[in-house]
Structure 1
């Protein structure tokens, strides 16, 4: 198994497209690591996207919000504007696991 932490989206996409066998994306890890431990998936390549600029950020836009794929669920509730505009999204994230899990898991996992 190979683990790679690319610094750009282009590198991540290239790694995934060029993978010879099963590949997985690691954002928070709460879902992937549990599935690996249970023997449900055995990726030959793990691409950790947490170092890619923008994927760990919440950005308010003219149309709403952009939530990066590597934003932990616990961080959603810390953003006052998001909490006010999209309370359902924040509340749903609070329903996932314990406080410890929420500090690691993402809404895309």
Structure 2
């Protein structure tokens, strides 16, 4: 699929989609660090985050700031691709038990300390 898009879209559009995807992933990781540090403080950590919570918040702010400079077409393409990916896996936005998305089921499963 990526090869087809690279062949059909101009190289600048592919570069912009790559940029917005990586920046969005970084925003999600920074948000996950914040959430996990406060909701599950007892988990064993594989890494330390200096300057908690300032560093993750700054990471999210600056990533969104960089994303804001991308063309509006890139945002539309990202939204279309995200909705297509989500609808193809029938992912739901809620983490309710019995949800069809594997990630939603993982999130709703209680963890043992």
Report if TM-score (shorter chain) is over 0.5: no
Bigger RCO (CA 8 Å, 6+ sep): 1
Higher helix share: 2
TM-score (norm 1): 0.30
TM-score (norm 2): 0.29
Which has the greater radius of gyration? 2
Higher strand share: 1
